RNA sequence: GGCGGCGUAGCUCAGCUGGUCAGAGCGGGGAUCUCAUAAGUCCCAGGUCGGAGGUUCGAGUCCUCCCGCCGCCA
């Protein structure tokens, strides 16, 4: 379809024009960063290199909600990781999808009052990095700085509120890797051996001859592999075959979804081979302790980012201190292509070092575009930067979290993207708020007549909303992000139906008792919107913030909400609402030379 | 070749453990309304549940074979 899409600037630049809002504070408390003085506010974004102590008043830390003051033990933190993305290239939509999903899960866990440690970062070692840098005429570290920054910039645009951004070139990471290496060595699981084989530089892997194409070309990169013989260090993975089998049998939830568990069990069953964990031919990386000629292989290095990320900059880095700051991880979120490393190699490494395994590894599916696999050679990649610039963060997040059943593959098409986002965010949610605030302004001077609890007395609608909220909570906890979205949107549908049934605009015209009933109805709908703003905030945080501020709340109040605030009754009589203003501008499609609008 | 997953309305998907033998969202058509972001509400069309057998009183759901797609392994 030839056409142009109008930029949804209102969705991305809302704050810059909102100074007329009487309740929106322009004061920015940049507690942690010197660089954050521009107006473009970031909800729950913090490139936090400085540890902040948990505090009730902290802008984003919710580990101590008021409800935890009754002598409850401090619970374990919820530690969530994305993969550490390889900096051979800027981020693509696949890694953005993983990170968006992780962010939604992290936000939900924070709403529950959990202390969350959300770890992401970049894997910056390896031959490909050195090669890519040389091709650009940069040093590897310069190259890493640029690409790593590109990741951070995209995460900022996508409202990713991570806690720890670890780069494998960080000095603390090296300390952790070396200490871990020594532990595994001391356990007798590293040995030296010759390794000869055909090596693909792009995969950074030795290949079995059988899997290569003619001229020994790698099937993925279509470039000839090089015969290499190296004297390397090996990790005794085969030694852990039985233990891994037992672990997966006894913990069937360790790998999810369940069909991925089957795959992993199949790999193990077919026999595990020791794998090389070092290279002599690669200089860009961490040297093997006591052997400066060998460099640690990227996976043995990178996976430890999940632990080194926990290390506090201020303290002397050591493995034990890092572990005690949040290990074991609660959830590793990964794409299915790296499942073997996370579900087989990593657990075995941890066993060897005598460390606890993470609680769960979740391997989600791939994204396709218009039903086809994405690939540079196909020329149909989906650039996350483009998507977020064109449609805004909320639309991108909402679409992928709603449309892809987590764990399965998912498809993107622009028509469907626009249809779904318009129908749900602009129409169901956005119009409901707009029409209600408009009525409130016209008939009640933008002020709530009664408490929402009083307004809903004897009203079954409140029960409907509470049931759907509970449904959403359960779905979030089960990582069913799509179903959670569905449940929250259903609240919006119920709200629109309620409005039509009660027709408060008609009641206002009648005056008297009818007008009072109408005023109560508006309070009911606005309380519903308040609940939606909380329940949907893990998915579309910026949109939800706009809803919350139009209901008369401040940024601090929004950042302090917990899931328990979805309980009916937050809005009180007398609260003044902001002026009605669309919270999500419809994405318009215009066809060339043709007026596509053909409506009544 | 072996193992596993999938194939349900134009699109994206529910329907798990057999029982009002088919639903939802998006899109489409119609009606209605005008508080509202040309939005809302209501109604409708649209299905050989990949195909063929079988088990059963009854199968989208269980079994067998076949076709197609995807993944892992060889």
The protein residue nearest B11 (Cα–C1') is A416
* pLDDT score of A59 more than 50: no
* pLDDT score of A596 more than 60: no
Alpha carbon of A504 to those of A501, A526, A550: distances in Å? 9, 13, 20
The reply to whether the CB atom of residue A600 sits less than 7 A from any atom in nucleic acid chain B is yes
The reply to whether the CB atom of residue A416 sits less than 7 A from any atom in nucleic acid chain B is yes
- Residue A208 CB contacts under 8 Å (≥ 6 apart), including other chains: A197
- Residue A49 CB contacts under 8 Å (≥ 6 apart), including other chains: A165, A313
pLDDT class for A74, splitting at 50, 70, 90?
A: low
Whether ipTM tops 0.95, in short, is no
For residue A577, count other CB atoms closer than 10 A to its CB: 23
The pLDDT > 90 percentage for chain A reads 60
Query: What are the pLDDT digits (tens) for A401-443?
Result: 999 888 888 889 899 999 999 999 999 999 999 999 999 999 9
The pLDDT value recorded for residue A16 is 31
pLDDT class for A251, splitting at 50, 70, 90?
A: confident
The pLDDT value recorded for residue A56 is 30
The pLDDT value recorded for residue A212 is 72
d(CA A255, CA A108): 21
The 3-class secondary structure across A146-195, one letter per residue, is HHHHHHHHHHHHCCCCCCEEEECCCHHHHHHHHHHHHHHHHCCCEEEEEE
For residues A480-493, average pLDDT: 93
**Lowest-confidence range among A128-142, A152-166, A578-592?**
A578-592
* pLDDT score of A588 more than 80: yes
Q: How many domains does chain A have?
A: 1
The pLDDT value recorded for residue A33 is 29
Separation of A410 CA and B45 C1' (Å):
28
Within-domain flag for A526: yes
pTM of the model: 0.86
Within-domain flag for A36: no
Within-domain flag for A482: yes
Here the CATH number for the domain that contains residue A435 is 1.10.730.10
* pLDDT score of A130 more than 80: yes
Separation of A149 CA and B72 C1' (Å):
35
The reply to whether the CB atom of residue A48 sits less than 7 A from any atom in nucleic acid chain B is no
For residues A569-580, average pLDDT: 96
Angle between helices A384-391 and A393-403 (to 10 degrees): 120
The pLDDT value recorded for residue A497 is 94
The reply to whether the CB atom of residue A426 sits less than 7 A from any atom in nucleic acid chain B is yes
The reply to whether the CB atom of residue A22 sits less than 7 A from any atom in nucleic acid chain B is no
The reply to whether the CB atom of residue A266 sits less than 7 A from any atom in nucleic acid chain B is yes
d(CA A389, CA A391): 6
Range of the structural domain that residue A540 is part of: 413-576
Task: Give chain A's mean pLDDT.
Answer: 83
Within-domain flag for A554: yes
Separation of A102 CA and B4 C1' (Å):
27
Report which listed range, A330-344, A397-411, A553-567, is most confident: A553-567
- CA-based nearest residue to A479, from A119, A109, A115, A117: A109
* pLDDT score of A271 more than 50: yes
Range 133-162, chain A: CB under 7 Å to any strand B atom: none
Strand-pair category, A367-369 with A410-412: parallel
Tokens matching residue A589:
């499609």
The pLDDT value recorded for residue A308 is 96
- The SS3 assignment for A58 reads coil
Separation of A576 CA and B59 C1' (Å):
58
Residue A538 DSSP class: T
pLDDT class for A394, splitting at 50, 70, 90?
A: very high
* pLDDT score of A285 more than 60: yes
- CA-based nearest residue to A397, from A425, A372, A419, A364: A425
**Neighbouring-strand partners of residue A591:** A3, A594
The reply to whether the CB atom of residue A90 sits less than 7 A from any atom in nucleic acid chain B is no
Within-domain flag for A426: yes
Within-domain flag for A89: no
Within-domain flag for A460: yes
The pLDDT value recorded for residue A143 is 95
Tokens matching residue A537:
């905030």
| A529 or A590: which leads in pLDDT | A529
* pLDDT score of A134 more than 60: yes
Report which listed range, A27-31, A51-55, A74-78, A555-559, is most confident: A555-559
The reply to whether the CB atom of residue A507 sits less than 7 A from any atom in nucleic acid chain B is no
Within-domain flag for A544: yes
The pLDDT > 70 percentage for chain A reads 84
The reply to whether the CB atom of residue A207 sits less than 7 A from any atom in nucleic acid chain B is no
The reply to whether the CB atom of residue A522 sits less than 7 A from any atom in nucleic acid chain B is no
The pLDDT value recorded for residue A11 is 56
Separation of A270 CA and B2 C1' (Å):
12
* pLDDT score of A357 more than 60: yes
Nucleotide nearest to A506 (CA to C1'): B35
Query: What are the pLDDT digits (tens) for A193-244?
Result: 887 777 777 766 777 776 677 777 776 667 787 887 778 899 999 999 999 9
Phi (first) and psi of residue A392, to 5 degrees: 95, 160
């Amino acid at each position: 379809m030839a056409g142009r899409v109008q930029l949804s600037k209102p969705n991305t630049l809302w704050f810059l024009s909102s100074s007329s809002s009487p309740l929106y504070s322009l004061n920015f408390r940049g507690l942690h960063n010197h660089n954050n003085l521009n107006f473009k506010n970031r909800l729950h974004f913090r490139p936090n290199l400085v540890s902040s102590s948990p505090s009730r008043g902290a802008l984003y830390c919710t580990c101590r909600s008021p409800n935890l003051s009754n002598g409850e033990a401090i619970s374990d933190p919820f530690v969530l990781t994305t993969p550490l993305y390889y900096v051979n290239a800027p981020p693509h939509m696949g890694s953005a999808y993983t990170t968006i999903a992780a962010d939604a899960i992290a936000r939900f866990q924070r709403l529950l009052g959990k202390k969350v440690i959300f770890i992401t970062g970049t894997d910056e070692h390896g031959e490909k990095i050195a090669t890519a840098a040389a091709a650009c005429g940069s040093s590897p570290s310069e190259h890493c700085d640029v690409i790593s920054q590109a990741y951070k910039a995209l995460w900022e645009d996508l409202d990713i509120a991570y806690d720890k951004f670890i780069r494998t070139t960080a000095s603390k990471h090296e300390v952790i890797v070396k200490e871990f290496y020594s532990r595994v060595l001391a356990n007798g699981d590293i040995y030296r051996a010759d390794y000869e084989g055909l090596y693909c530089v792009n995969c950074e892997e030795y290949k079995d001859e059988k899997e290569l194409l003619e001229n020994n070309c790698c099937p993925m990169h279509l470039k000839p592999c090089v015969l290499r013989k190296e004297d390397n260090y090996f990790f005794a993975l085969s030694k852990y075959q039985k233990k891994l089998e037992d672990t997966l049998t006894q913990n069937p939830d360790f790998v999810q979804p369940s069909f991925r568990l089957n795959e992993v069990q199949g790999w193990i069953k077919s026999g595990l081979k020791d794998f090389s964990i070092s290279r002599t031919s690669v200089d860009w990386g961490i040297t093997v302790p006591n052997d400066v000629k060998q460099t640690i292989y990227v996976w043995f290095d990178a996976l430890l980012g999940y632990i080194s990320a926990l290390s506090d900059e201020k303290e002397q880095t050591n493995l034990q201190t890092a572990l005690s700051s949040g290990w074991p991880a609660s959830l590793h979120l990964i794409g299915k292509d790296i499942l073997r490393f996370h579900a087989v190699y990593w657990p075995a490494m941890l066993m060897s070092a005598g460390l606890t395994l993470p609680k769960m590894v979740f391997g989600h599916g791939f994204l396709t575009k218009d039903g086809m696999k994405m690939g540079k050679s196909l020329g149909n990649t989906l650039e996350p930067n483009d998507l977020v610039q064109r449609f805004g963060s909320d639309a991108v997040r909402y679409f992928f979290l709603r449309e892809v059943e987590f764990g399965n593959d998912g498809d993107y098409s622009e028509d469907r993207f626009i249809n779904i986002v318009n129908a749900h965010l602009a129409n169901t949610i956005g119009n409901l708020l707009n029409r209600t605030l408009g009525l409130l302004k016209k008939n009640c001077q933008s002020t709530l007549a009664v408490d929402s609890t009083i307004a809903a007395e004897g009203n079954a609608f409140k029960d409907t909303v509470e049931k759907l909220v509970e449904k959403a909570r359960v779905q979030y906890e089960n990582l069913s992000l799509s179903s959670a979205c569905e449940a929250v949107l259903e609240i919006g549908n119920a709200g629109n139906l309620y409005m039509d049934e009660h027709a408060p605009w008609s009641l206002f015209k009648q005056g008297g008792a009818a007008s009072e009933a109408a005023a109560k109805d508006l309070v009911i709908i606005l309380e519903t919107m308040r609940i939606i703003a909380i329940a949907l905030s893990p998915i579309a945080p910026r949109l939800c913030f706009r809803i919350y501020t139009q209901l008369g709340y401040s940024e601090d109040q929004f950042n302090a909400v917990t899931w328990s605030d979805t309980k009916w009754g937050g809005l009180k009589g007398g609260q003044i609402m902001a002026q009605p203003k669309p919270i999500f501008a419809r994405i318009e499609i215009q066809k060339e030379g043709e007026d596509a609008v053909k409506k009544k």
